[in-house]
Structure 1
Amino acid sequence: MELQNKRNIAKNIFLDILCFTLGGILYGISVSVFSEPNQIAPGGVTGISIILNSLIHTPVGTMALILNAPLIIWAIVELGYKLVVKTIFAIILTSISIDVIAMFIPPYQGDQMLVAIFAGVTEGAGLALIFIRGGTTGGTDTAARLLGRRFPHFSMGRLMMFIDLCVVVISAIVFKSVESAMYAVIVIFVATRLIDAVLYGTDIGTGKMLFIMSQKSQEISQAIISQMSRGVTILKSKGAYTGKEGDVLLCAVRKYEVYRLTQLIKEIDIDAFIIIGDAGQINGEGFKENGKEEKTLKDIIKNRKRKE
């Protein structure tokens, strides 16, 4: 059992590195080959870096890393450190990829619509690979998560849209081109739709709820708890046709965790029956406030003070 756990850990680390590396390369291509050479700033920290590049000629990847540094520090204080570790790794990889790819792959400056579409496709594919493994690239998504804790009446999607919109408007002013802003909107739209399609189809919701039926329900529930740090509820069931009694596992996860969870289930039982549905809102431990998402730096400090 211990050997199997070590193998699973090694496999997960390998997949994390592989997906983050491929995702970083694709994201770097999106920025260095398509967006930056054509003065398209598709929101977020990368968009701000592209704008600054046109003003003070700083490398886009390096500037993105610098701008993300305060967000990382803020995230360590406000969010769970488990999420931040992967985020730091992803930020470093994508930042390096942007600058390195700019040295070796020539920019494409042809038809602007093709530029916007392919920038969105490569960005979306790259980010999807990173999100699949539970990471983020900092920027808009991290800023939105942090702001969401201060302004809980705004959804994360709306906060992300607001931040991106501000960057796009600024880019139109700096580049003196309304068309540039319009193409940036196309990039954002294509990228977000592709991310949605890769991660969880075309469904839209704040979380996902899975019902899992398997002859190996105990093994699956233990794997979910130990490898994904998610809770599982065991429901007693009885087949209407067969009359056989069994267990149904109920598990709530974030959207980007669905792919990883289904893969984990299939590794244990290839014949497992899985129903995936939308969860419009999830409150409690591991999700929305009233049970903090993960152990944070604030929690650690508070706990130490109590012990003292």
Structure 2
Amino acid sequence: MIWLRTKKLIVVLIGALLTAISMNFFLIPANVYSSGFAGAAQLLSSVFGGGISTGIFLFILNVPVALLGWVKVGRSFTLYSFISVLAMSIFLEVIPVKAFSDDILLNAVFGGVIGAVGVGLTLKWGASTGGMDIIAMVLSRLNDKPIGTYFFILNAIIIITAGALYGWEKALYTIVTLYVSTRVIDAIHTRHEKLTVMIITKKSAEMKKVIHEKLMRGITIIPAKGSYTNEDKEMLMIVITRYELFYLERIIKEVDSNAFTNIVQTIGVLGFFRKD
């Protein structure tokens, strides 16, 4: 367990470093913006003429969100997410802002790719880069409304403001960065807010107990039979958020390493998306 936490901490720090590199070496010098709270912090720093750095704004924006996450989401997820934000803020302050290319398109693409690798790795290991991810996690536990709307509104504000401040060409390159980032995160982790997990196991009782203890999600149990072995099994069907995938994968490995698991994208959910 200690080794797993240490590996998770190392991955979170690497993710924060990659995100800071993408911003200070590519996005900030080209006035191309990142998504979410990182882009908002970058934008605020530009509005204030650089008097307050992007790293400081990023930290300030995430403090109230971290407090909300601590109360509503859970300590482990919020703690690692805040460590990610804190590390990224420090890296943004320590790493100098330096342009490696004058080509805006190259900056937009490479900034998007490198930053997305950092975010994807962080998500894959059960943490987040803070900001909108924590808000999305809170909202997903309160209701079943599309979280993507909130991401879209914030990113739309960033893009429109970038266009008003630096010209619409900059805004278009920001869209390129957002698109590239989304595709890379898709490849590393998943950008889908909700996932349906179907677990076929002979240890359904133990699996159900641990999932109920560690995740606030209901489970549907369906009888199943192996076609080759004719063994009686059960299939546990559960809908989770992308942030819970890391924890569920480890639960499955601990309870039944021989379980067959299928994970698919969920377009929408009707009914209660939580454990009552």
> Structure 1-normalised TM-score?
0.75
Question: How far has the Cα of 1:184 moved from its partner?
Answer: 0.9
Query: SS state of the match for residue 247, structure 1?
Result: strand
- How far residue 148 of structure 1 moved from its aligned partner, in angstroms, is 7.6
Over 3 Å counting, the alpha-carbon distance change for 1:252 and 1:274 in structure 2 is same
Q: Is the 8 A contact 1:24 1:90 kept in 2?
A: yes
Partner of residue 111 from structure 1, selected from 99, 103, 107: 103
User: Displacement, 1:156?
Assistant: 0.8
Residues 98-149 of structure 1 show CA distances to partners (whole Å, capped at 9, x for unaligned) of: 222237xx43233221111111111111111221233222233344566789
Matches of residues 121-160 of structure 1 in structure 2 within 5 Å? Answer: 121-143=113-135, 155-160=146-151
Structure 2 residue aligned with 1:72: 66
Say whether residues 1:187 and 2:180 are aligned partners. no
Superposition TM-score, scaled by structure 2 size: 0.82
Code of the residue aligned with 2:64 in structure 1: it is P
User: What is the CA–CA distance in structure 2 between the aligned matches of 1:181 and 1:120, rounded to whole Å?
Assistant: 14
Alignment of 1:133-282 (within 5 A): 133-143=125-135, 155-175=146-166, 177-200=167-190, 205-215=192-202, 217=204, 220-221=207-208, 223-225=210-212, 232-262=219-249, 264-266=251-253, 269-279=256-266, 280-281=268-269
Question: Structure 2: any 5+ residue segments left out of the alignment?
Answer: none
In structure 2, how many angstroms separate the alpha carbons of the residues matched to 1:196 and 1:40? 21
State how far apart, in whole Å, the 2-side matches of 1:23 and 1:139 are. 15
Change (3 A) 1:228 1:129: farther
Query: CA-to-partner distance for each residue in 1:74-113, whole Å, 9 max, x for gaps?
Result: 4455x2243433332221122112222237xx43233221
Q: How many residues of Structure 1 are paired with residues of Structure 2 in the alignment?
A: 272
- Larger-Rg structure: 1
Give the CA deviation at 1:216.
5.1
The RMSD of aligned alpha carbons is: 3.1
Q: Which residue identity is paired with 2:150?
A: L
Letter in 2 for 1:250: M
Kindly, what percent of the aligned residue pairs are identical? 26
Q: Once structures 1 and 2 are overlaid, which stretch shifts more, 49-58 or 59-68?
A: 49-58
Contact in 1 for aligned 2:239/2:273 (Cα 8 Å) = no
